[in-house]
Amino acid sequence: MPANNPGDLHQVSDRLAYNAMRHWKERLIEAVLLAAAAVSVLTTLGIVYVLVSESISFFANVSIVDFLTDTQWTPLFDDAHFGIMVLVSGTLVSSFVALAVAIPMGTIIAIYLSEFADSRVREVAKPILELLGGIPTIVFGYFALLVVTPILQFVLPGLPGFSLLSAGLVMGIMIVPYIASLSEDAMRAVPMSMREGSYAMGATKLYTAVHVVVPAAISGLAASYILGISRAVGETMILAVAAGMQPNLTWNPMEPAATITSYIVQVALGDLPHGSIGYQTIFAAGLTLLLITLLFNILGQWLRARFRENY
């Protein structure tokens, strides 16, 4: 038997020979990729650690029940109250106003770009739209304060100089490009064969867009809305500039109010002693914000799983 010849056992051709050099290169690349991925995960964990550990010291002084039920937020006064709902209400009202603008507008723009605009219009319009997302939010803030508020006051004479309405509207405009761009991507990913099926039934473009393309792209649309919500809840500068920074438990967008983020920026700019209760409120408020965003993200994940594309 030739295979029993010991000389043959070592006859591995050059092409099949084990390549040690390639092996180590692969391992090195793997390690670099893992390190890059680890940076973002570790950053998140670090943020959570700081927020939680500082909040624990905060809740050693303030009860969670007071935190959630008190109707005043005056952490720096002698008569200190720590009712986070005051800030949460401002955050939710301004976000609601923003999303009431951004979700319909973003979706309509996405439908137009994906289903109606010819390719030349799309190639010009989409980058311009995305540019809107690149404007610094402080610019949007002053746009709200100096342009939008006066115009709104003309229509609604009782509107104060700072209001959740004005800040929310401009925040909505800021979020439109995110929703429009992501929704358009999701709708363009719907296979042409599905549209053809609808057109072949005698449907118009609009009917096809609303009854076939949007339902088919619903999970992508939901993802873009969730991103929009996260942007709105976390937005800081527009609200700090245009919504006034006075803590105010209100559900009326016509009033000025502080949000979680604008409170954080306000006290962070002052000179609070490290370790004081005022300093710790920053982290308790930050943790609340993180939990709100997390809640919406989980909701988004659930929606995405529920309405997964099934084409």
Region binding other proteins by CB under 8 A among candidate stretches 55-63, 149-157, 200-208, 246-254: 200-208
Does position 123 interact with other proteins (CB under 8 A)? The reply is no
To other proteins, the closest distance from the beta carbon of 190 in angstroms equals 9
To other proteins, the closest distance from the beta carbon of 200 in angstroms equals 4
DSSP letter at 273? P
| Cβ 208 vs Cβ 198: under 8 Å | yes
The helix-helix angle for 85-111 and 260-269 (nearest 10°) equals 120
How far from 25 is each of 17, 28, 219, CA to CA, in Å? 16, 5, 39
Q: Which is nearer to other proteins, 97 or 186 (CB)?
A: 186
Does position 297 interact with other proteins (CB under 8 A)? The reply is no
How far from 144 is each of 14, 140, 153, CA to CA, in Å? 70, 6, 12
Does position 305 interact with other proteins (CB under 8 A)? The reply is no
Does position 251 interact with other proteins (CB under 8 A)? The reply is no
Say how far apart CA 246 and CA 78 lie, in whole Å: 17
Return the residue of 185, 199, 265, 278 that touches other proteins, per CB under 8 A: 199
Rounded to 5°, the CA angle 236-92-256 comes to: 70
Structure-block tokens of residue 254: 């016509």
What residues from 54 to 113 belong to the interface with other proteins (CB under 8 A)? none
To other proteins, the closest distance from the beta carbon of 86 in angstroms equals 43
Does position 294 interact with other proteins (CB under 8 A)? The reply is no
Maximum Cα interatomic distance, the chain, rounded to a whole number of Å = 103
Structure-block tokens of residue 218: 């619903």
Does position 210 interact with other proteins (CB under 8 A)? The reply is no
Location of structure tokens 């303030």: 62
Q: Which is nearer to other proteins, 111 or 240 (CB)?
A: 111
Region binding other proteins by CB under 8 A among candidate stretches 36-44, 87-95, 122-130, 206-214: 206-214
To other proteins, the closest distance from the beta carbon of 111 in angstroms equals 16
Region binding other proteins by CB under 8 A among candidate stretches 147-155, 195-203, 220-228, 269-277: 195-203
| Cβ 198 vs Cβ 109: under 8 Å | no
Return the residue of 46, 150, 160, 197 that touches other proteins, per CB under 8 A: 197
Long-range contacts of 8-12 (CB under 8 A, 24+ apart): none
Residues contributing to the site for other proteins (CB under 8 A): 118, 191, 193-204, 207, 211-212, 215-216, 218, 309-311
